Structure 1
Amino acid sequence: MPPGPAAADPACADVIVGAPEELLGLPRQETTSQGTLAWGTGDGAVVLRCGVAPPPPTTEHCATLEDTSGTQIDWIVREDESGYVRFTTYGREPAIDLTVPRASAPDQPSAAALDLGQLVGAIPATAHCVGAGDL
Protein backbone atom coordinates (compact mmCIF):
# COMPACT_ATOMS: atom_id res chain seq x y z
CA MET A 1 0.00 0.00 0.00
CA PRO A 2 1.43 3.40 -0.89
CA PRO A 3 2.05 5.96 1.86
CA GLY A 4 0.12 9.22 1.91
CA PRO A 5 1.96 12.40 0.85
CA ALA A 6 2.18 13.58 4.49
CA ALA A 7 3.02 10.16 6.00
CA ALA A 8 6.18 11.64 7.59
CA ASP A 9 4.12 14.07 9.69
CA PRO A 10 4.95 13.50 13.40
CA ALA A 11 1.24 13.12 14.15
CA CYS A 12 1.20 10.06 11.89
CA ALA A 13 4.05 8.53 13.88
CA ASP A 14 1.95 9.00 17.03
CA VAL A 15 -1.05 7.34 15.36
CA ILE A 16 0.99 4.34 14.21
CA VAL A 17 2.71 3.87 17.58
CA GLY A 18 -0.55 4.26 19.50
CA ALA A 19 -2.68 2.01 17.31
CA PRO A 20 -4.27 -1.00 19.01
CA GLU A 21 -2.86 -4.49 18.68
CA GLU A 22 -6.28 -5.74 17.64
CA LEU A 23 -9.15 -4.18 15.67
CA LEU A 24 -12.46 -5.92 14.93
CA GLY A 25 -10.88 -9.06 16.36
CA LEU A 26 -8.08 -8.94 13.76
CA PRO A 27 -4.39 -8.88 14.79
CA ARG A 28 -2.26 -5.86 13.92
CA GLN A 29 0.20 -6.34 11.07
CA GLU A 30 3.17 -4.08 10.44
CA THR A 31 3.55 -2.78 6.89
CA THR A 32 6.50 -1.56 4.86
CA SER A 33 5.04 1.85 3.97
CA GLN A 34 5.47 4.76 6.35
CA GLY A 35 2.28 5.89 8.08
CA THR A 36 0.36 2.69 7.34
CA LEU A 37 -0.95 -0.27 9.31
CA ALA A 38 -3.16 -3.26 8.69
CA TRP A 39 -5.20 -5.56 10.87
CA GLY A 40 -5.66 -9.01 9.40
CA THR A 41 -4.28 -10.17 6.07
CA GLY A 42 -5.21 -10.35 2.42
CA ASP A 43 -8.55 -9.11 1.11
CA GLY A 44 -10.02 -9.17 4.63
CA ALA A 45 -7.48 -6.72 6.09
CA VAL A 46 -8.53 -3.43 7.60
CA VAL A 47 -6.03 -0.82 6.37
CA LEU A 48 -5.10 2.53 7.91
CA ARG A 49 -3.14 5.19 5.98
CA CYS A 50 -2.13 8.35 7.80
CA GLY A 51 -1.01 11.42 5.90
CA VAL A 52 -3.40 11.20 2.98
CA ALA A 53 -4.55 14.41 1.31
CA PRO A 54 -7.23 16.08 3.44
CA PRO A 55 -10.58 16.12 1.65
CA PRO A 56 -11.86 19.56 0.64
CA PRO A 57 -15.43 20.65 1.39
CA THR A 58 -17.66 18.12 -0.29
CA THR A 59 -21.24 17.03 -0.82
CA GLU A 60 -20.25 13.40 -0.17
CA HIS A 61 -21.68 11.62 2.88
CA CYS A 62 -19.96 13.05 5.97
CA ALA A 63 -20.80 11.38 9.27
CA THR A 64 -19.88 12.35 12.82
CA LEU A 65 -19.11 9.21 14.80
CA GLU A 66 -19.01 9.45 18.58
CA ASP A 67 -17.35 6.75 20.68
CA THR A 68 -18.38 5.72 24.20
CA SER A 69 -16.03 8.30 25.75
CA GLY A 70 -17.69 11.14 23.82
CA THR A 71 -14.90 11.63 21.27
CA GLN A 72 -16.41 12.82 17.99
CA ILE A 73 -14.66 12.32 14.65
CA ASP A 74 -16.02 13.51 11.30
CA TRP A 75 -15.52 11.00 8.48
CA ILE A 76 -16.26 11.12 4.76
CA VAL A 77 -17.79 7.68 4.12
CA ARG A 78 -17.63 5.95 0.75
CA GLU A 79 -18.64 2.40 -0.12
CA ASP A 80 -17.61 0.77 -3.37
CA GLU A 81 -19.21 -2.07 -5.27
CA SER A 82 -16.35 -4.45 -4.43
CA GLY A 83 -17.37 -4.56 -0.77
CA TYR A 84 -15.07 -2.00 0.87
CA VAL A 85 -16.07 0.95 3.02
CA ARG A 86 -13.56 3.80 3.16
CA PHE A 87 -13.60 6.32 5.98
CA THR A 88 -11.51 9.49 5.53
CA THR A 89 -11.20 11.98 8.36
CA TYR A 90 -12.68 15.37 7.59
CA GLY A 91 -11.26 18.56 9.09
CA ARG A 92 -8.04 17.03 10.45
CA GLU A 93 -4.48 17.32 9.15
CA PRO A 94 -2.87 14.98 8.54
CA ALA A 95 -5.91 13.12 7.28
CA ILE A 96 -6.43 9.40 7.83
CA ASP A 97 -7.98 6.83 5.50
CA LEU A 98 -9.41 3.67 7.00
CA THR A 99 -10.52 0.95 4.59
CA VAL A 100 -12.79 -1.73 6.03
CA PRO A 101 -13.84 -4.78 4.01
CA ARG A 102 -17.51 -5.63 4.50
CA ALA A 103 -16.35 -9.25 5.00
CA SER A 104 -14.54 -8.19 8.20
CA ALA A 105 -17.47 -6.18 9.58
CA PRO A 106 -20.61 -7.11 7.64
CA ASP A 107 -23.08 -5.46 10.01
CA GLN A 108 -21.17 -2.39 11.15
CA PRO A 109 -18.00 -1.36 9.31
CA SER A 110 -18.09 1.90 11.28
CA ALA A 111 -17.08 -0.10 14.38
CA ALA A 112 -13.45 0.10 13.22
CA ALA A 113 -13.62 3.89 12.93
CA LEU A 114 -15.34 4.13 16.32
CA ASP A 115 -12.65 1.95 17.93
CA LEU A 116 -9.98 4.36 16.66
CA GLY A 117 -11.76 7.52 17.87
CA GLN A 118 -9.41 8.28 20.77
CA LEU A 119 -6.36 7.72 18.59
CA VAL A 120 -7.60 9.88 15.70
CA GLY A 121 -8.95 12.48 18.12
CA ALA A 122 -5.38 13.37 19.12
CA ILE A 123 -5.13 15.17 15.76
CA PRO A 124 -6.95 18.49 16.30
CA ALA A 125 -10.06 19.22 14.26
CA THR A 126 -10.06 22.45 12.26
CA ALA A 127 -13.36 21.89 10.42
CA HIS A 128 -16.51 19.82 10.88
CA CYS A 129 -19.20 18.17 8.79
CA VAL A 130 -22.19 20.35 8.12
CA GLY A 131 -25.53 19.49 6.63
CA ALA A 132 -28.45 21.40 5.17
CA GLY A 133 -29.87 21.84 8.67
CA ASP A 134 -26.69 23.61 9.80
CA LEU A 135 -26.95 26.41 7.26
Structure 2
Amino acid sequence: MNSIRRRLVCLPVLGLLMATVGCSSTDDTATVVVPSPDAYTAKLCRKLHQQLPDELDGLERTDPEPRSELTAGWGSSAIILRCGVPKPAKMGDLTAPTTEVDGLGWLIEEPGDGSYRFTSALREAYVEVTIGSDHKKQSGAASLVVLGREIKKAIPKGIAN
Protein backbone atom coordinates (compact mmCIF):
# COMPACT_ATOMS: atom_id res chain seq x y z
CA MET A 1 0.00 0.00 0.00
CA ASN A 2 2.79 2.46 0.86
CA SER A 3 4.60 1.83 -2.44
CA ILE A 4 1.41 2.57 -4.41
CA ARG A 5 0.88 5.81 -2.48
CA ARG A 6 4.51 6.86 -3.11
CA ARG A 7 4.11 6.23 -6.84
CA LEU A 8 0.94 8.30 -7.00
CA VAL A 9 2.55 11.19 -5.13
CA CYS A 10 5.66 11.07 -7.34
CA LEU A 11 3.77 11.09 -10.65
CA PRO A 12 2.77 14.79 -10.57
CA VAL A 13 6.27 15.79 -9.48
CA LEU A 14 7.80 13.71 -12.29
CA GLY A 15 5.41 15.27 -14.82
CA LEU A 16 6.30 18.79 -13.67
CA LEU A 17 10.01 17.99 -13.88
CA MET A 18 9.65 16.60 -17.41
CA ALA A 19 7.66 19.64 -18.54
CA THR A 20 10.30 21.99 -17.10
CA VAL A 21 13.16 20.14 -18.75
CA GLY A 22 11.31 20.06 -22.06
CA CYS A 23 10.79 23.83 -22.15
CA SER A 24 13.34 25.97 -23.89
CA SER A 25 13.90 29.66 -23.98
CA THR A 26 13.64 31.52 -27.26
CA ASP A 27 16.42 33.95 -26.40
CA ASP A 28 20.14 33.26 -26.60
CA THR A 29 20.92 33.90 -22.94
CA ALA A 30 23.55 31.48 -21.69
CA THR A 31 23.11 29.53 -18.50
CA VAL A 32 26.01 28.76 -16.17
CA VAL A 33 26.68 27.16 -12.84
CA VAL A 34 27.24 29.93 -10.31
CA PRO A 35 30.30 29.30 -8.12
CA SER A 36 29.87 29.15 -4.35
CA PRO A 37 33.06 30.61 -2.84
CA ASP A 38 33.73 31.58 0.77
CA ALA A 39 32.71 35.06 1.96
CA TYR A 40 36.13 36.67 1.38
CA THR A 41 36.38 35.37 -2.18
CA ALA A 42 32.78 36.41 -2.91
CA LYS A 43 33.65 39.94 -1.75
CA LEU A 44 36.58 40.07 -4.19
CA CYS A 45 34.35 38.77 -6.98
CA ARG A 46 31.69 41.39 -6.29
CA LYS A 47 34.38 44.07 -6.56
CA LEU A 48 35.49 42.60 -9.91
CA HIS A 49 31.88 42.43 -11.13
CA GLN A 50 31.44 46.18 -10.58
CA GLN A 51 34.50 46.92 -12.73
CA LEU A 52 33.70 44.69 -15.72
CA PRO A 53 33.10 46.45 -19.05
CA ASP A 54 29.74 46.83 -20.78
CA GLU A 55 31.38 45.84 -24.06
CA LEU A 56 34.21 43.38 -24.72
CA ASP A 57 35.76 42.54 -28.10
CA GLY A 58 32.87 44.36 -29.77
CA LEU A 59 30.29 42.28 -27.88
CA GLU A 60 27.58 43.75 -25.65
CA ARG A 61 27.38 42.53 -22.08
CA THR A 62 24.68 39.87 -21.73
CA ASP A 63 25.07 38.24 -18.33
CA PRO A 64 24.14 34.57 -18.12
CA GLU A 65 21.32 33.06 -16.11
CA PRO A 66 20.90 32.81 -13.23
CA ARG A 67 22.02 36.39 -12.65
CA SER A 68 24.84 36.66 -10.12
CA GLU A 69 27.65 38.98 -9.10
CA LEU A 70 29.92 35.97 -9.58
CA THR A 71 29.27 35.63 -13.32
CA ALA A 72 29.28 37.83 -16.42
CA GLY A 73 28.95 37.34 -20.15
CA TRP A 74 29.35 39.10 -23.45
CA GLY A 75 27.69 38.22 -26.75
CA SER A 76 25.30 35.62 -25.28
CA SER A 77 27.71 32.77 -24.70
CA ALA A 78 30.71 34.04 -26.72
CA ILE A 79 32.61 35.01 -23.56
CA ILE A 80 31.60 33.84 -20.08
CA LEU A 81 33.35 34.84 -16.84
CA ARG A 82 32.90 33.01 -13.53
CA CYS A 83 34.64 34.31 -10.41
CA GLY A 84 35.31 32.27 -7.30
CA VAL A 85 35.57 28.91 -9.06
CA PRO A 86 37.41 26.09 -7.30
CA LYS A 87 41.06 25.50 -8.12
CA PRO A 88 41.19 23.51 -11.36
CA ALA A 89 42.76 20.06 -10.97
CA LYS A 90 45.24 20.87 -13.75
CA MET A 91 46.47 23.98 -11.92
CA GLY A 92 49.04 21.88 -10.07
CA ASP A 93 50.19 20.02 -13.19
CA LEU A 94 53.55 21.43 -14.29
CA THR A 95 52.96 20.13 -17.83
CA ALA A 96 49.55 21.82 -18.23
CA PRO A 97 49.44 24.55 -20.88
CA THR A 98 49.69 28.06 -19.48
CA THR A 99 50.20 31.54 -20.82
CA GLU A 100 50.84 35.02 -19.51
CA VAL A 101 48.85 37.92 -20.91
CA ASP A 102 49.75 41.45 -19.86
CA GLY A 103 51.36 40.23 -16.63
CA LEU A 104 48.61 37.83 -15.54
CA GLY A 105 49.13 34.08 -15.68
CA TRP A 106 46.42 31.78 -17.05
CA LEU A 107 45.88 28.03 -17.13
CA ILE A 108 44.55 26.99 -20.57
CA GLU A 109 42.05 24.15 -20.97
CA GLU A 110 40.09 22.86 -23.94
CA PRO A 111 36.77 21.42 -22.68
CA GLY A 112 36.23 19.50 -25.93
CA ASP A 113 33.42 21.59 -27.41
CA GLY A 114 35.73 23.84 -29.43
CA SER A 115 35.94 26.50 -26.73
CA TYR A 116 38.88 27.52 -24.58
CA ARG A 117 38.73 27.94 -20.81
CA PHE A 118 41.29 30.17 -19.11
CA THR A 119 41.68 30.28 -15.31
CA SER A 120 43.67 33.06 -13.67
CA ALA A 121 46.64 32.08 -11.53
CA LEU A 122 48.43 33.54 -8.53
CA ARG A 123 45.47 35.63 -7.36
CA GLU A 124 43.42 35.32 -4.16
CA ALA A 125 40.41 34.16 -6.20
CA TYR A 126 40.28 31.98 -9.29
CA VAL A 127 38.57 33.61 -12.26
CA GLU A 128 37.52 31.43 -15.18
CA VAL A 129 36.97 32.88 -18.66
CA THR A 130 35.47 30.68 -21.35
CA ILE A 131 35.74 31.85 -24.94
CA GLY A 132 33.28 30.06 -27.21
CA SER A 133 34.40 28.32 -30.39
CA ASP A 134 32.84 30.90 -32.74
CA HIS A 135 34.36 33.86 -30.94
CA LYS A 136 37.85 32.38 -30.62
CA LYS A 137 38.02 32.30 -34.42
CA GLN A 138 37.23 36.04 -34.56
CA SER A 139 39.26 37.49 -31.71
CA GLY A 140 41.22 34.72 -30.08
CA ALA A 141 42.15 35.60 -26.54
CA ALA A 142 42.25 39.40 -26.94
CA SER A 143 39.57 39.72 -24.26
CA LEU A 144 42.06 38.36 -21.70
CA VAL A 145 43.98 41.65 -21.90
CA VAL A 146 40.95 43.72 -20.85
CA LEU A 147 39.65 41.20 -18.31
CA GLY A 148 43.14 40.64 -16.92
CA ARG A 149 43.54 44.34 -16.16
CA GLU A 150 40.28 44.34 -14.20
CA ILE A 151 41.21 41.13 -12.37
CA LYS A 152 44.56 42.62 -11.34
CA LYS A 153 42.78 45.72 -9.95
CA ALA A 154 40.11 43.81 -8.02
CA ILE A 155 41.83 40.63 -6.84
CA PRO A 156 45.13 40.83 -4.96
CA LYS A 157 48.14 38.68 -5.77
CA GLY A 158 48.32 35.50 -3.75
CA ILE A 159 47.16 31.92 -3.70
CA ALA A 160 43.41 31.27 -3.55
CA ASN A 161 42.12 28.83 -0.96
Q: Report how far residue 64 of structure 1 moved.
A: 1.1
The answer on 1:19 being equivalent to 2:67 is no
> Match for residue 48 of structure 1?
81
Whole-angstrom distance in 2 between the partners of 1:7 and 1:30 = 22
Structure 2 residues without counterparts, runs of 5 or longer:
1-31
The answer on 1:30 being equivalent to 2:63 is yes
**Alignment CA distance shift 1:102-1:117 (3 Å):** same
**Alignment CA distance shift 1:107-1:25 (3 Å):** closer
Matched pairs, number:
120
Q: How does 1:66-85 map to 2 (within 5 A)?
A: 66=102, 72-85=103-116
> Match for residue 114 of structure 1?
145
Q: Report how far residue 109 of structure 1 moved.
A: 2.3
Identity in percent = 28
Whole-angstrom distance in 2 between the partners of 1:28 and 1:86 = 19
Q: In angstroms, what is the RMSD of aligned CA positions?
A: 1.9
Structure 1 residues without counterparts, runs of 5 or longer:
67-71, 128-135
Instruction: Indicate conservation of the 8 Å contact 1:5/1:52, yes or no.
Output: yes
Q: Highest relative contact order (Cα 8 Å, sep 6+), 1 or 2?
A: 1
Higher share in helix: 2
TM-score (norm 2): 0.67
**Alignment CA distance shift 1:51-1:40 (3 Å):** same
Please say which structure displays the higher CA radius of gyration: 2
Higher share in strand: 1
